[in-house]
Amino acid sequence: MSLAVLAIFAAIPIVAALVLMVGLRMGAMKAMPIAWLACAVIGIMVWKLPGSYVAALSIQGVISAFGILIIVFGALLILHTLQYSGGMETIQYGMANITKDMRVQAIIVGYMFGAFVEGAAGFGTPAALAAPLLFALGFPPMAAAVICLCFNSFPVSFGGAGIPIIVGIGPALKSVGDALVAAGTVGSFDAFLKLIGETVSLMHAPMALILPVFMLGFITRFFGPNRSWSEGLAAWKFCIFAGLSFVVPYLLLAWLVGPEPPTLVSALIGLGVIFYGAKHGICMPTDKVWTFGDHEKWDPAWTGTIAFSGSKEFKSHMSQTLAWLPYVLVGGILVITRLEFLPIKAWLNNNAVLSFTGILGYSNVNESLKILYLPGTIPFILIALCVVFMHRMSGDKVAKAWRDTAMKIWPAAIALCASVALVKIFQGSGVNPELAAQVAAGTAKNLPSMPLAMATTMGNIFGDAWPFLASYTGGLGAFITGSNTVSNLLFGMFQWDIAGQLGFSRIIVTASQVAGGAMGNMVCIHNIIACCSVVGLLNREGEVLRKTFWPFVLYGIVVGIVTYILIGMNYSSNL
């Protein structure tokens, strides 16, 4: 069977996910198990893998997904706990009283608060919290949705305690990373992931500065009373001020610590800096206070089913310090527990480890869970429990927070288990245990793995243009699955292989995949539906997508340019 035919078969599970979720609007909870089944059947029928081996790989995927779910559960638990304790409304109250200029509000709420929520929870929560807040402050629903979707891009790669890299790229490239560690090329698997994260930070940094300026001009042009780019661009100084307050710690943390803290800690620092700056007039727009004007004169296309009430009165239930303290503690613990020179990281790594070796009798199918080292355990669940006492919550509110978290995690659990199981079959397809003796004797050879077959074929088609297309592939993955993490799981090994086939730095191309999966949040159907639902724009998703598509294209162009620059500089040339 030719390599091109193998590539077509390998692409079937991904195409199936695309058709089911985008074409038939099926949820990931139903679509991803079908895609996994397609992958399992292809593995058995085309790659001639033993059924028990495919089952072992699938079990390995479910175990790995359980580790992901602990992180997601912990992140959502602390968020819901703060919602029921009154801490989140107190935070919103503080933001609603900083300035009346809606350009500045867009940066504070859409850019920085959205980044903070992404770092704290991820998985679609930024739009669910930030968009209604902008709407409450007087933004047209369509404008609020577009702002929050577009700004939920550069924070995503390190969002939710580094999930897209640690549990997206991590499982996708586990065999590769382990081989590099064994060869002495990198010191540890954590160092391998950190290297990818460092490269990703370089790709996001330019757009973290460019995007706020572009989006303010975009919003005042398409939603402002005067339809003017210049009114938004006039606030460029505050945009750059805000961008630098985020980007500087973002880069430092990615390079000095690792992928877990950059988004959350940088957003906390950035919020403090721009709060101070807005209150003291630092880099604030010097023209008149800008607003969207009389809502009765708004284009009907900007509004939805939720009537505009002028504003919402948020209440303060505690001091701002007490409301923000849980996330300050989360950020501090993430940093402390990831520093190599402190003994805490090694202790967490070496205790409470669940190991699963030789699954179903296959010696090459192993998985382990480092329970204490998972960010979902420490700090998220730990701090969520502390909030109960810090905010003096009643038992019924605590129960509601845990119940809401459990209800929200269930659909994600099914989708993630199926997705990671599919990825493990993808990875394991390059080794057929039944041919081991023949391969060792030189009388037979394994077929190329599914990602390698696709990578070789795509490399033959696109050649030197691939570094520019890599980020759009990551964006396509997020568009299909609704997740940067799942996009990385699906395409991580594919990107690594295609870079190797074409002679480009595999680290750089893989990092472009991660950055692309983050920018894909602008256009992914799941995020758009979630965002539209909270501002009353259901069944208007197509209109929102047409607005977010152009910032998505711009983002990919910038990431492509950075990718080529890094390749030209021989950055990470040995990988």
Amino acid at 47: W
User: What is the four-CA torsion angle of 22, 200, 164, 499, rounded to 10 degrees?
Assistant: 70
The three-point CA angle 356-361-365 to 5° equals 50
As a whole number of angstroms, the distance between CA 514 and CA 495 comes to 10
Q: Are 319 and 86 in contact (CB under 8 A)?
A: no
Q: Which of 561, 552, 418 is nearest to 474 (CA)?
A: 552
Helix pair angle (141-151, 525-534), 10° resolution: 140
Tokens describing residue 416: 């993630």
Amino acid at 216: L
Q: What is the DSSP letter of 448?
A: P
The whole-model pTM stands at: 0.80
The three-point CA angle 441-445-447 to 5° equals 160
Tokens describing residue 497: 């292989």
- Which DSSP helix (H) or strand (E) runs through 196? helix 189-223
The answer to whether the bond into 379 is cis (omega within 30° of 0) is yes
Per-residue pLDDT of the chain (575 residues), as tens digits, is: 788 899 999 999 988 887 887 677 777 788 889 999 999 999 999 999 999 999 999 999 999 888 878 887 887 888 889 989 999 889 878 877 788 899 999 999 899 988 988 887 776 667 767 887 788 788 899 999 999 999 999 999 998 778 899 888 988 898 899 899 998 899 999 999 999 999 999 999 999 999 999 999 999 999 999 999 999 999 999 999 999 999 999 999 999 999 989 998 999 999 999 989 998 999 999 888 899 988 888 888 888 776 655 555 678 899 989 998 988 898 888 888 888 788 998 899 889 899 999 999 998 899 989 899 888 898 889 999 999 999 999 999 999 999 988 887 887 788 888 888 998 898 888 889 988 878 888 888 888 888 888 888 888 888 889 999 999 999 988 887 678 888 898 889 889 989 998 999 999 999 999 999 999 989 887 678 778 877 878 778 778 888 999 999 999 999 999 999 999 998 776 78
Helix (H, G, I), strand (E, B) or coil at 52: helix
Neighbours of 462 (CB within 10 A): 15
As a whole number of angstroms, the distance between CA 251 and CA 118 comes to 17
- Which DSSP helix (H) or strand (E) runs through 115? helix 114-120
Q: Are 181 and 154 in contact (CB under 8 A)?
A: no
Q: Tokens 């509004």 correspond to what residue?
A: 303
As a whole number of angstroms, the distance between CA 52 and CA 383 comes to 41
